[in-house]
Structure 1
Amino acid sequence: MKYFLPFCMLALLTVAGCKNAPSETDAPLQGAVDSINQSPPRPGSPPLAARLYEAFEQYREPAITNLRFKHSDITALLDSLPPEFEVTVLGASVEGRSISEVQLGEGPTPVLLWSQMHGDEPTATMAIMDIFNFFQARGDGFDSLRAEIKEALTLHFIPMLNPDGAERYQRRNVLDVDLNRDALRLQSPESKILKAARDRTQAVWGFNLHDKNRYYAAGDSPETASVSFLAPAFNTDKDINEGRADAMQLIVLMDEVLQQYIPGKTGRYDDTFEPRAFGDNMQKWGTNTVLIESGGLKGDREKQYLRRLHFTILLTAFEAMANGTYENWPREAYEDIPYNESGDFHDLIIRNANRLYESQSFLTDLAFRHREIDYQDARKYYLRGSLTDLGDMSTYHGYEEFDAAGYTIVPGKVYAKALPDVAALRQTDLQSLVRQGYTDFQITNLPHSSVSAQWPVALLAPGKQPNNTIYQYGNPSFLLEKAGQYDYVVVNGFIYSLLEQNPAFDLPQ
């Protein structure tokens, strides 16, 4: 296993009802002006949310266990839905993959939800499949909730709007068009399908469901923006009409639910009007639009915990829309949600290391990120590290951090003897060799990169010399030395301890 420092370990909060993280509004009042500017207090998280959260596992769709599912996986699930769900093929993507709508309920308020407008943003699609399972259940204590929602709302789901992008696990469609910037020209068939669905349903509410990269921070805090919201503007002046105000109130409710499980880890987007974007235009066309984006959460790279939270907040929102209780939430509290800070997070930050250059020592922080490299038709991926920044990283945060004060960076060496295969490497005392400064090993029958990336050392083709120099965008292997001893090694953007026997050096099989 990789070495993770105790003070960086994630403690997922999985008990409903825990206290919110402190915020500016918790501070003592400084005078009348501060009192006036404070947002009204929020009602407590709806009890329904805790019940849904606790019950989630019985509705989790077992056919989907990670983010890289395909169009065929979703169509198989839609084909198996009972008659209560009205499934309609609305059209096809550029490459001819079907785009379907699932309608549920017969209430007077139409609600439109679309997911995977960007093909590599699948968290909400997973949650929608779980919600379909929820609506099929009976006798679990939620029958009255299902009846209330279906009597008040007509839900229109468009899961996987961009199936060609999903097939490649890429953001844009096969024409390389960003569908979320195609609301005016409607140059792609997928965009036309979404616009036609909005016009046909005359949706009162719209949920624009996305993912974002894992490197956003929640404001200037050391917390990831694990879920972010936006009630998009409908004009350049960012005016707030009744519909946009309703969306803000609903967001405040959902944010309060999330604070019970990921306190301090929510954010909101800047509401500068984007005239080509679907969310902004949906708001302009009269649909109360809510953007929800799933970001990064330590220990949840496949977003299965965020999937659970998505399920919880969507169903809680449906109830609030059905009975109008979203109106109890103060719109002003929307402004208390911190803005996303893009790029503030890295996968690993090594702080305060000594870096030698021509016999001079310089204090240096090193920040790494891991890029997902697709293989097996984009159904799988492996991680490739990159030294994305170095220098003073004191204002940035890491999913994992290591204080290397007193340690010196020493570039790794290549083991002189070429080994026939990884089985031979496994027979060595690998950790002992690394303690001697060897980080790179020549393998005659080099395995696929997806296998090499799992090793705590770098695997090379015979005769190939690595570049373990410290420079931006490189992927150096190096050791951290103190008092003549190597205590840690960094390979492919991961840090491993050498202080005691580390199981990572026995892997992979």
Structure 2
Amino acid sequence: MKLVLVSLGLLAITACSNPFSGGSTTGKLEAMQVDTSQWNSMYAQSKEQALFHRRFKHKDIDSLIQLHKKRGSLQVDQIGKSVEGRAIYELAYGQGNKKVMLWSQMHGDEPTATMALFDLFNFLEGKGDGFDSIRQLLQENLTLHFIPMLNPDGAERFLRRNAQSIDLNRDARANQTVEGALLKKRAKEFQPRYGFNLHDQNIYYNVPGTQNPVTISLLAPAFNEPREINEVREGAMQIIVGMNEILQQYVPNAVAKYDDTYTPRGFGDNFQSWGASTVLIESGGLKGDPEKQQIRKLNFIIILNALIEIAEGSYENYDAKGYEAIPFNASQMHDVMIRGLSFGSDSIPLKSDIALRRGEQTVVGDYFVRGRVEDIGDLPESFGYDEVQAEGLHFQEGKLAPQALPNLAALTPEVAYDLLKKGFIGVQVQNLLPEQQGMLHQLPIQVYANPNFAPTPFVDLGGTANFYLADANGTLKYAILNGYLIDLSKPLAEVGLLKNRIL
């Protein structure tokens, strides 16, 4: 049976096609407009408010899991412990004969889907909101097993690998880690027919031939070296076609496929070979969403939609050829692209493109960024989240404020921005307290205590990114501040969020 939206916003069971999925009963794929208002409503009432940034810890989800255990709609079991003794949980829902296993954060610095799973837990526990027919459908047709945060030790450090520096997603064959062995053990015991392998990819993938960052990357992993397609893998492809239909309504032309090279050590590839139609979801980048809260919402929607279609069996109506039409990731994105900037020296002038990237550095409970020059040259096929056409502009070295400020309290955002617009890329602050040394700030200027700090003297591959773009009259048009692009004609309110630290 198929699930359909009715005009009053309620859901009813009918034999018509499913506007949530865009499939058809004829097996012919038809493009359909999804009523996103329904998904938005489901998500708004289900979002777990306790998780609101990427760098949450095991203790944060542990407390939430205990709340879900008390509510009783989800069965909660501790199935093991990490190397450092942190609890690993499995949550179960439903009594149907279709078994589905979902696991997240096997890489500690890939938390987006973990947040979405807790949103989904809230939805499954809901009642009387107009969506009970969905819960009934899932409850009666599926048995769901979730393992959120498989790698809590990595999450504690916000690092990819576990406490033993092993990549859990390359441990499906050897089972050298307690966490990897636990996932394999639960898979063999549960024997799922469907699997969801939930990850984050870096934000520098783009849809080939476009400046669009890949917001969600999908994959039906190969189960053997030739990357053959059997019934199991084809099922994963069909599920992905349904996901892509919805994603195009939210992030058009921002979906791609992950590399499908067979990885005998990878869990997705092995789940596929074990008979579970397995979908890899990689959360990528979206401009203006550094904490991936919008991408989290997309995870919630496409996972829930896929579960509905599995419960109905309606995903089988998709033509798997639609999967092949999704392009593979390209890797040509940068944080900032400066096009056609004049720089070099008086004796040897140079006019070229410059690509900048910002790398995250983890500190206790937070992070800061370091901007650097990633590439220099003829880069028309490269793109930036922010771009500037620098025709008629030239590199201008920044200055240091001639007078140090007495303390941090004297450096307000307004003072900092005024200094920046006058050509001062950095300011020294005296009388810093010990706890203020190296602290983070969001001020639109570099703050330093170390007298050795210097602005960027010239553009150099791998070098720092603290300089200006000026016109022929010497008027400063843009500041490049720690890899951020700041349009100096805009008011302070439009500068945006910076993640700097005192140097």
Same fold (TM over 0.5): yes
2-side partners of 1:484 and 1:151: how far apart?
A: 70
1-side partners of 2:105 and 2:413: how far apart?
A: 45
Residues 1:200 and 2:189 aligned together? yes
Q: In the alignment, residue 217 of structure 1 is paired with which amino acid?
A: N
1-side partners of 2:168 and 2:78: how far apart?
A: 19
- Comparing 443-452 with 365-374, greater Cα deviation is found at 443-452
Check conservation: 1:371, 1:384, Cα contact below 8 A.
yes
CA distances 1:68-114 after superposition (whole Å, capped 9, x unpaired) = 11111111111111222111111111001111110100001110000
In structure 1, the residue corresponding to 2:404 is in which secondary structure? strand
CA distances 1:282-324 after superposition (whole Å, capped 9, x unpaired) = 1111111110010000011111111111111111111100111
Give the aligned partner of residue 271 of structure 2.
282
Which structure is higher in RCO with an 8 Å CA cutoff and minimum separation 6?
Answer: 1
Which consecutive unaligned segments of at least 5 residues does structure 2 have?
1-18, 499-503
Q: Which among 200, 218, 235 is matched to residue 229 of structure 1?
A: 218
Residues 1:55 and 2:34 aligned together? no
Q: Which among 361, 364, 368 is matched to residue 349 of structure 2?
A: 361
1-side partners of 2:455 and 2:242: how far apart?
A: 51
Residues 1:98 and 2:87 aligned together? yes
Q: Which among 299, 312, 316 is matched to residue 310 of structure 1?
A: 299
Check conservation: 2:397, 2:455, Cα contact below 8 A.
no
C-alpha displacement at 1:54, in angstroms? 3.1
In structure 1, the residue corresponding to 2:336 is in which secondary structure? strand
Q: In the alignment, residue 374 of structure 2 is paired with which amino acid?
A: T
Give the aligned partner of residue 9 of structure 2.
none
Residues 1:407 and 2:403 aligned together? no
Residues 1:493 and 2:480 aligned together? no
1-side partners of 2:497 and 2:82: how far apart?
A: 42
Which consecutive unaligned segments of at least 5 residues does structure 1 have?
1-16, 21-38
1-side partners of 2:83 and 2:286: how far apart?
A: 34
In structure 1, the residue corresponding to 2:211 is in which secondary structure? coil
C-alpha displacement at 1:438, in angstroms? 2.4
**What TM-score do you get using the length of structure 2 for normalisation?**
0.88
2-side partners of 1:505 and 1:317: how far apart?
A: 39
- Comparing 76-85 with 158-167, greater Cα deviation is found at 76-85
C-alpha displacement at 1:429, in angstroms? 5.4
Q: Please, what is the CA RMSD of the aligned residues?
A: 2.3
Check conservation: 1:42, 1:333, Cα contact below 8 A.
no
Residues 1:263 and 2:249 aligned together? no
1:225–1:504: structure 2 CA closer, same or farther, 3 Å change rule?
closer
2-side partners of 1:98 and 1:436: how far apart?
A: 54
Q: Which among 113, 127, 130 is matched to residue 102 of structure 2?
A: 113
Give the aligned partner of residue 326 of structure 2.
337
2-side partners of 1:318 and 1:506: how far apart?
A: 38
2-side partners of 1:80 and 1:506: how far apart?
A: 36
Residues 1:375 and 2:356 aligned together? no
Work out the percentage of aligned pairs sharing the same amino acid.
43
C-alpha displacement at 1:358, in angstroms? 3.4
In structure 2, the residue corresponding to 1:306 is in which secondary structure? helix
C-alpha displacement at 1:437, in angstroms? 2.9
2-side partners of 1:507 and 1:266: how far apart?
A: 26
1:145–1:421: structure 2 CA closer, same or farther, 3 Å change rule?
same
1:501–1:252: structure 2 CA closer, same or farther, 3 Å change rule?
closer
Check conservation: 2:413, 2:444, Cα contact below 8 A.
no
1-side partners of 2:416 and 2:56: how far apart?
A: 36
Check conservation: 2:78, 2:89, Cα contact below 8 A.
yes
Q: In the alignment, residue 63 of structure 2 is paired with which amino acid?
A: A
Written as runs of structure 1 = structure 2, the 5 A alignment for 1:96-245 is: 96-245=85-234
Aligned length: 467
C-alpha displacement at 1:396, in angstroms? 0.6
1:311–1:465: structure 2 CA closer, same or farther, 3 Å change rule?
closer
Check conservation: 1:444, 1:462, Cα contact below 8 A.
no
